[in-house]
Structure 1
Amino acid sequence: MTNSLVIAGGGIAGIAAGLATVRAGWQATVFERAPEFSEVGAGVQLGPNVTRILQAWGLGDALKRMAAFPSGLHARSMTTGEVLAVLPVKDAITTYGAPYVTLHRADLHGLLLQAAARDGVQVHSDAVVNKVSQSADEAVFDVMQHGQLQHHAATLAVAADGVWSPLRQQLLGDGLPTFTGHIAYRALVAQTNLPAHLRSQDVSVWMGSQAHVVSYPVRGGDYLNVVCLAEGRLLDDDAKGLQALQTWNAQKSEAQTLAELHHALRGACAPLKDLMAACNDWRLWPLCGRPAMQGAHEHAQGRVALVGDAAHPMLPYLAQGAGMAIEDADELAAHLLGATSANAPERLQQFADARWLRNARVQARAVRNGRIFHATGPVRVGRDMGLRLMGARLMDVPWLYGYSRT
């Protein structure tokens, strides 16, 4: 009899987990609380550690059709516009055996969803997983679907329900995530709507004081994804509705958003100001998270695995949130290959042991990068000097990009 697993959450983490485990011979059913899948989020960057997995899943050609393939990652001064250093990410294929790509989050999700459906993953929308329970031989989801409470039993369960995961709170009892003090403002602009000097097929990181801006091409290079990440506080009304702001598409009034961006970009150079002025329809996303993982118990509890943001929410300063979710899925499937119902919990523990230290390292590095990107005073001077002198050697992350499960 084929082993089965139920998955809470139909985002990148949940769909990737379903796709990977079906490829390993399991039956997978995904429950997504949203009534329908829509284009949420903005861009994602995928390093060779991630594209290597997607290629192994047979998705390399589809990725080529929708992604952009930047030549370089440019570290810039926000105040002067100077290019301090360039990491030639086009060399990732030669150096790491897989490309560095940028694409729209919805395109990545759609790619995974199409592959999952083709391979037999069952996906149910408008299905809210309220509770997970487990016994010696099965895990059970309580799911509210079409106004009715249903119980879905399986060999294993996977919590992939995001940073606000109610299943994590039930399993670990470690409370809600907290506001990190960082807010992301994002916009998507057609390259044809930009003056020629602002169009780009590369990644740029403009580093300032308590803020930075990142821009890169998506949708085959036709659009530019622009994100300003700033340190700030939430207004009282925002703080009260913090969880509601986690939709990726929250908006304030145009005047208030522009005022906050103006404050974050005070002292910015003219080209960056021109780029930000060319964008509109800004969306905001208060970044919430947790401390870096403390142990394997945050990845597995008996017959329940936690993956993606439910296990290890990350600041976006290493561009690895989606990547670590896909790595989780690949590792999970590898440990479930050939598993039986009897030894499945043991296999989950092996998965957790294999993943938590790497995820903790990535979480910590992302926090460190945030401090570097937003540095002030002597630290900022030292950062800029180091980038000028060491260039790509300082920007490359071999332990991250060179990772391979095998």
Structure 2
Amino acid sequence: MNKQVLIAGGGIGGLAAAIAAARADWDVRLFERATEFSEVGAGIQLGPNVVRRLQAWGLQRPLQQVVASPSALRACSAVTGKELARLPLGRDMVQRYGASYVTIHRADMHEILLQAAQNLPEVHLNLNQSVNSYTEQDSVVTIRTSANKLIEGDALIGADGVRSAVRSQMLGDGPPRVTGHLAYRAMVHQAQLPKRLRTSEVTAWLGPHLHAIQYPVRRGELQNLVVIVQGPPPADLDHWDHSANLPDLMQHLKGTCSYLQDLVQHVPDLGGEWRLWPVADRVPVASEAQMAQGMVALLGDAAHPMRPYLAQGAGMAIEDAAELQSALSMHDLDVSLRLRRYALNRWQRNARVQERSLRNGRIFHATGVVRWGRDLSLRALGGRIMDVPWLYEGAL
């Protein structure tokens, strides 16, 4: 009889964990608090380190049907509009790292993982139930759900996001920290944009106290836009007037180039809207004990929420799941040792990505002499400074 793993959370991390555990010959019961599986309209960048994991799960074909394949990664000045550096993607990334660099709509990524999980008979998905708490006794972990049900398993994976209830009980380290950064996000149809505002590349616009990212998703039909600025979040996000976001955003963009301002202002003209999210994170993981204790482990944002300045939030969750599969497959070890092995093999890499994301944020939003030095380095070194071999190769 297979062992049973309980998974809290039905987002990208939770579904990836479910696929991984089933492929390790575990029965899976996943609990998602929403009444249906869905994802918001945002984009995700998937480096070759992540694409290789998805290919190993047999997901290359569904990926190819929905991703965009940007031709390059560019860094530009948000003030002058001039290109500072360019890193070719496409075949160059495949030759160097064995897989493509692609961009994908978050909803499409979620749907691919959901379909893969539903096709595995070992996976049982439970909607409208979250994991509220758990107990461990005699090699059994018992969860209490929001429906007040008690369910036993051999392991529990907390993949329940940045405000994880599983993490709260396991580590008791309070809520995530407010970063002082705000993300304005929008999605538009490329065909409705003027040709000069369409893109087949990933472009990072770097400016004082802000940066913007644009790239294609869904076979290039849509363009994902993100502008991250520094400032306090609205006092009440639940009742925040999202239609008021554009004037606020344009105020932040004063002094930026006409291209960026035109692009941002086209969103409501095309029936879109700017949605606002405050960016939250935690300090980098400091030890394996922050990712696994006993028969409970954390995965994805529950373990290592990070700022989006290395575009690896979803990627690290998928990498976590791949490592979880390897650990759960060690059938000669006790469950607690398997989870500890998972944490030992993941915490340092996750911490490095968290730290690099923090560093990138400071560089992207630099002012004064630091900004001048950043632009000079980008012009001098070009794509070499934008490439991240240790990340894309999958090393620590």
Q: What's the TM-score once normalised by structure 2's chain length?
A: 0.96
Q: Report if the CA contact (8 A) 1:48-1:401 is conserved.
A: yes
Q: Report if the CA contact (8 A) 1:49-1:404 is conserved.
A: no
Hey, what does 1:320 align to over in structure 2? 312
Pick from 253, 272, 276: which aligns with 2:264?
276
Write out per-residue CA displacement over residues 348-380 of structure 1, whole angstroms, 9 at most, x where no aligned residue: 111111100000000000010000000000000
Q: Tell me, which stretches of 5 or more residues in structure 1 are unaligned?
A: 245-249
> After the TM superposition, which of the residue ranges 105-114 and 39-48 deviates more from structure 2?
39-48
SS of the residue aligned with 2:168? helix
> How far apart, CA to CA, are the structure 2 residues paired with 1:39 and 1:351?
27
Q: Report if the CA contact (8 A) 2:131-2:144 is conserved.
A: yes
> How far apart, CA to CA, are the structure 1 residues paired with 2:116 and 2:257?
44
Q: Report if the CA contact (8 A) 2:242-2:275 is conserved.
A: no
Q: CA deviation at 1:176?
A: 0.8
> How far apart, CA to CA, are the structure 2 residues paired with 1:318 and 1:306?
21
Q: CA deviation at 1:144?
A: 2.4
Hey, what does 1:364 align to over in structure 2? 355
Q: CA deviation at 1:53?
A: 0.3
Equivalent AA in structure 1 for residue 251 of structure 2: H
Q: Report if the CA contact (8 A) 2:250-2:261 is conserved.
A: no
> After the TM superposition, which of the residue ranges 36-45 and 380-389 deviates more from structure 2?
36-45
SS of the residue aligned with 1:279? helix
Write out per-residue CA displacement over residues 55-84 of structure 1, whole angstroms, 9 at most, x where no aligned residue: 010001110000000010110000111110
Q: CA deviation at 1:251?
A: 5.2
Q: CA deviation at 1:301?
A: 1.1
Is the counterpart of residue 296 in structure 1 residue 288 in structure 2? Answer: yes
Is the counterpart of residue 378 in structure 1 residue 377 in structure 2? Answer: no
Write out per-residue CA displacement over residues 218-239 of structure 1, whole angstroms, 9 at most, x where no aligned residue: 111100000000111124x23x
Hey, what does 1:395 align to over in structure 2? 386
> How far apart, CA to CA, are the structure 2 residues paired with 1:337 and 1:177?
32
Hey, what does 1:247 align to over in structure 2? none
Pick from 241, 250, 254: which aligns with 2:243?
254
Distance 1:70 1:360, change over 3 A: same
> After the TM superposition, which of the residue ranges 289-298 and 44-53 deviates more from structure 2?
289-298
Write out per-residue CA displacement over residues 309-337 of structure 1, whole angstroms, 9 at most, x where no aligned residue: 00000100000000000000000110111
SS of the residue aligned with 1:317? coil
> How far apart, CA to CA, are the structure 2 residues paired with 1:308 and 1:167?
12
Q: Report if the CA contact (8 A) 1:251-1:282 is conserved.
A: no
Is the counterpart of residue 61 in structure 1 residue 73 in structure 2? Answer: no
Distance 1:305 1:343, change over 3 A: same
Distance 1:142 1:201, change over 3 A: same
Segments ≥4 residues shifted beyond 6 Å: none
Identity of aligned residues (%): 49
Hey, what does 2:194 align to over in structure 1? 195
SS of the residue aligned with 1:334? helix
> How far apart, CA to CA, are the structure 1 residues paired with 2:347 and 2:6?
22
Q: CA deviation at 1:128?
A: 1.7
Pick from 327, 330, 347: which aligns with 2:322?
330
Q: Report if the CA contact (8 A) 2:242-2:276 is conserved.
A: no
Hey, what does 2:227 align to over in structure 1? 228
Write out per-residue CA displacement over residues 131-189 of structure 1, whole angstroms, 9 at most, x where no aligned residue: 011113111110123xxx11111110100000001111111111111210001000000
Count of residue correspondences:
390
Write out per-residue CA displacement over residues 254-290 of structure 1, whole angstroms, 9 at most, x where no aligned residue: 23x1232112211111111111111131111101111
Q: CA deviation at 1:25?
A: 0.8
Q: Report if the CA contact (8 A) 2:19-2:116 is conserved.
A: yes
Equivalent AA in structure 2 for residue 33 of structure 1: R
Q: Tell me, which stretches of 5 or more residues in structure 2 are unaligned?
A: none
Hey, what does 1:92 align to over in structure 2? 93
Is the counterpart of residue 129 in structure 1 residue 118 in structure 2? Answer: no
Q: Report if the CA contact (8 A) 2:76-2:83 is conserved.
A: yes
Is the counterpart of residue 16 in structure 1 residue 7 in structure 2? Answer: no
> How far apart, CA to CA, are the structure 1 residues paired with 2:95 and 2:137?
48
Hey, what does 1:213 align to over in structure 2? 212
Q: CA deviation at 1:253?
A: 4.2
Hey, what does 1:354 align to over in structure 2? 345
Q: Report if the CA contact (8 A) 1:68-1:101 is conserved.
A: yes
> How far apart, CA to CA, are the structure 1 residues paired with 2:280 and 2:205?
23
Equivalent AA in structure 1 for residue 314 of structure 2: A
Hey, what does 2:52 align to over in structure 1? 52
